[in-house]
Amino acid sequence: MDITDLHLKDYLQGFQETLKNQQADYRVAILEAGSDAGEFERFINRQFRLRLQHYMLTSRARALETRLAITSRSTHFLLYQRDQLIAVLRATPAPFEWASLAQHHVSPTVALARHVEFSRLITHSQQHRPVSINGLLATAAEWAIDRGYQGVTALCRSPQRQLFQRFGLTPIASHAMHIEQRARGDYWLLSAEWRQILMALDQPVNMNVHQPEYRDVHNRQY
Distance separating alpha carbons of residues 69 and 72, to the nearest angstrom: 6
At 20 the pLDDT is 84
How confident is the model at residue 49, as a pLDDT? 92
d(C-alpha 57, C-alpha 198), whole Å: 35
CB 169 within 8 Å of CB 154 = yes
CATH number assigned to the domain with residue range 3-217, chosen from the 4 options 3.40.47.10, 3.40.630.30, 3.40.640.10, 3.40.50.11720:
3.40.630.30
Query: What is the DSSP pairing of strand 84-93 with strand 115-123?
Result: antiparallel
- pLDDT for the residue 216: 42
DSSP states along 94-121: SSPHHHHHTTTT----GGGTTEEEEEEE
Model pTM score? 0.86
In angstroms, the first-to-last Cα distance of the chain is 30
Cα–Cα dist 194/191, whole Å? 10
List the chain pLDDT tens, one digit each, 222 residues.
788 899 999 989 998 898 888 888 899 999 999 999 999 999 999 999 998 888 888 999 899 899 999 999 999 999 999 899 999 999 999 999 888 787 666 666 766 889 999 999 988 875 556 678 888 999 999 999 999 999 999 998 876 787 788 889 999 888 888 777 777 678 899 999 999 999 998 886 555 544 433 444 444 444
Please name which of 166, 152, 159 lies closest in space to residue 208, comparing C-alpha atoms. Answer: 166
Residue 212 confidence (pLDDT)? 39
Q: How is the chain split into domains, by residue range?
A: 3-217
Question: How many H-runs (helices) and E-runs (strands) does the chain carry?
Answer: 9, 8
